[in-house]
Amino acid sequence: MLSGAFGIIGFSWSACPVSTDLEIIMLDWLGKMLQLPQDFLFSSNGKGGGVIQGSASESTLLALICAREKAISSFQAIDKGWSRSMIMNKLVYYASTEAHSSVEKAGLLSGLTCHLLPTDAAFSLEGDVLQAAIDKDRTQGKIPFFVVGTLGSTNSCAFDNIEKLGEVCKKENLWFHIDAAYAGAACICPEFRYLLNGVEYADSFILCPSKWMLVNYDCCAMWIKDREDIVKPCYITPAYLNEDVQEQTVDYRHISLAHEFENLVRNDHRFEIALPVVLGVVCFRLKGSDTQNEEMLRVIRERGNIALKSSRIRSLYIIRFVVCGKDTESEDILFAWREICLAANKILNSKDE
């Protein structure tokens, strides 16, 4: 709600550190309200923590893909002869027939096989049913790797026996994901907290504040016991992320301001435009060496008045000037240009010396 109201552009930590910090703090607040195990809280200084996802469906898909990657790498660590596709064909995961359709859909999207298991009279999935399914699949050469337990199913508001499912997952070394999209918020009330007994077995746990907490859809709170498990499989390092920063490369606003900046660059013989400017991104550089450009950027950053990022196109080092803020005006562009020129003067003069 705050980022909507303030128009925060929070696509990376450095674009708006306060929104990351606020997310960390608020997910810890929510985690504490739910009395989640310390493992899920940032404040425990462990490996876990919370993160906001769009929807419950998205969170389940993310957990499934990360569990898949974890299973593949641990399998390959034992036997290098196994290819990804050989392992993928054998992977199976489980949920109850009452689980939300997004659980099965996550399998369709990620190319994995889902086994929906029968429930008891109360529409609850029990540990012995899961254990029997795992045993059967293992004898057939399958590789069980992931289980979704539901707390408060969509159709019947049924609760799987997460204590028993958790015990089986621990014994069998499977990723245990708990979908409490709807019911989770109720567990803040002390009289319903018992419904979360067994959450300590989970590797990932979700609830949707958009259900009962007066938060706009989409909003899904997800807690992970080991952040590395979701960061590692999703990590890519294109050049524009080389400083641990994620930026958007296309911007539909303030395009004319970007061209104003482009003209300033073109009119200074010391600089060059590296790529045609189409929207709000201007890729430019000093005509000198990469080292000079790196040095210039270092000076700009040290002054701390404007934020610029570097990248590479093919092997060419470039600096990216991106106009994003809705209140940006021509005088801001001139201000930025003066900062750049100051840094350039410093670098080029020191070269002359």
> Which is closer to ligand PLP, CB of 56 or CB of 300?
56
Map the footprint of ligand PLP across residues 218-257, applying CB under 6 A. 220
Using the contact rule CB under 6 A, the part of the chain among 167-175, 176-184, 240-248, 324-332 near ligand PLP is 176-184
3-state secondary structure of 88: helix
Considering beta carbons, is residue 67 or 277 the nearer one to ligand PLP? 67
The verdict on 208 binding ligand PLP (CB under 6 A) reads: yes
| Structure-block tokens of residue 331 | 């005088």
Looking at the Cβ atoms of 124 and 150, the one nearer to ligand PLP is 150
Give the one residue of 12, 150, 293, 311 binding ligand PLP; rule: CB under 6 A.
150
- Please select the residue that binds ligand PLP; options are 28, 179, 203, 229, rule is CB under 6 A: 179
Counting residues that bind ligand PLP (by CB under 6 A) gives: 14
Cβ closest to ligand PLP, residue 65 vs residue 208: 208
Minimum CB separation of residue 117 from ligand PLP in Å reads 16
Compute the least distance from the CB of residue 151 to ligand PLP, in Å. Answer: 8
Q: Is 57 in the site for ligand PLP (CB under 6 A)?
A: yes
Pick the piece of the chain touching ligand PLP (CB under 6 A) from 148-156, 221-229, 324-332, 337-345.
148-156
Contact criterion met (CB below 8 Å) for 181 and 225: no
- Decide if residue 202 touches ligand PLP (CB under 6 A): no
Under rule CB under 6 A, residue 56 binds ligand PLP: yes
Query: What per-residue string of b and e applies to 166-204 under the rule 16 or more CB within 10 Å gives b?
Result: bbbbeebebbbbbbbbbbbbbbbeeeeeebbebbbbbbb
Q: Tell me, what DSSP letter sits at residue 118? A: P
Kindly tell me which of 56 and 202 has the beta carbon lying closer to ligand PLP.
Answer: 56
User: Which tokens belong to 279?
Assistant: 């929207």
Cβ proximity to ligand PLP: between 182 and 205 the closer is 182
Copy the structure tokens of residue 345. Answer: 């003067």
Name which of 156 and 249 has its Cβ closer to ligand PLP.
156
- Select the span of 110-118, 141-149, 174-182, 252-260 touching ligand PLP (CB under 6 A): 174-182
Residue 30 structure tokens: 């929510």
Please state whether the peptide bond connecting residue 218 to the residue before it is cis, i.e. omega within 30 degrees of 0.
yes
- Pick one of 55, 131, 246, 328: the residue that binds ligand PLP (CB under 6 A): 55
Beta strands in the chain (DSSP E): 49-53, 91-96, 113-117, 143-150, 175-179, 204-207, 220-224, 271-273, 281-286, 309-313, 316-322
Nearest approach in angstroms of CB 54 to ligand PLP is 8
Residue among 317, 283, 310, 303 at smallest CA distance from 345? 303
Residue 271 neighbours by CB distance under 10 Å: 20
> Could you give phi then psi for residue 270, rounded to 5 degrees?
-80, -15
Smallest distance from ligand PLP to CB 198, Å: 16
Relative to beta strand 175-179, strand 143-150 is parallel
Cα 93 to Cα 116: distance, rounded to the nearest angstrom: 9
Round to whole Å and give the CA distance between 148 and 112. Answer: 14
321, 336 Cβ separation under 8 angstroms? yes
Task: Rank residues 155 and 330 by Cβ distance to ligand PLP and give the closer one.
Answer: 155
Q: Which of 100, 115, 164, 254 binds ligand PLP (CB under 6 A)?
A: 100
* Nearest distance in Å: CB 61, ligand PLP: 9
| CB-nearer residue toward ligand PLP: 166 or 209 | 209
Residues binding ligand PLP (CB under 6 A): 55-57, 100, 102, 150, 152-154, 179, 181-182, 208, 220
